[in-house]
Amino acid sequence: MSFIDLASSSQNFILDAEVPADLAPREALLDRAMGLERKRKSSEKLRCGRLPSEGLALVARDMAGNLIGTVRLWDVTAGAKSLLLLGPLSADPSMAGSGIGSALMRRAISLAAAKGHGAIVLVGDAPYYKRFGFAAEKAAGLLMPGPVERERFLGLELVEGYLGDASGLLAAAGEREPIEHDLGTFRLEQVA
């Protein structure tokens, strides 16, 4: 575990690094908060079959250890430029407005900056994300691999000027997810 701490002394949840045991509760939370439509988003094309960027998959837990929030960032490229794609961000609907989403966003942004990343892009509601510094103008030169409303395609520079000359189609650049079954072993077991 790379970190675990109280999001703030007044809040009754902690931020933590995502671990494999979070997979099922995280999927359940995303289904509750966002519905199954989430799997048809253009961003999904950049995430499918990839692992999140190293150290940039975070969760929020209540004091009983239940997963109540999630955010992930993904390595993508636009031409020769490396960027991070953020999403999905989700907080438990039963705890809406209790600061979980904001705490995850702030921690994700500060970790990404500390790791030396130049910029983050995402597709989401500008009225929510502008509080963290995201703006549509910053992603103006970039294209998603699928339909996207321009006013929802937002960027945040972690290094000043990093997105100034960024242009072109985003492509997945994350490490590939390990294949679930070792086919070689599987075939041998079938023959035996």
H/E run at residue 70: strand 67-78
The yes or no reply on residue 89 touching ligand COA (CB under 6 A) is: yes
Asked if 90 touches ligand COA (CB under 6 A), the answer is yes
Residue 96 in the binding site for ligand COA (CB under 6 A): yes
Inter-residue contact 120 to 73 (CB < 8 Å): yes
Q: Hey, which residues between 30 and 59 contact ligand COA (CB under 6 A)?
A: 33-34
Contact assessment for residue 16 and residue 59, using Cβ atoms and an 8 Å cutoff: yes
Question: Which string of DSSP letters, residue by residue, matches 156-184?
Answer: EESSTTTTTT--EEEEE-SPBPPPSS-HH
The site for ligand COA, by CB under 6 A, has a size of: 16
Cis peptide before 127 (omega within 30 of 0): no
Contact residue for ligand COA among 42, 102, 145, 146 (CB under 6 A): 102
Q: Closest CB to ligand COA among 34 and 51?
A: 34
> Looking at 12-20, 120-128, 140-148, 158-166, which segment touches ligand COA (CB under 6 A)?
120-128
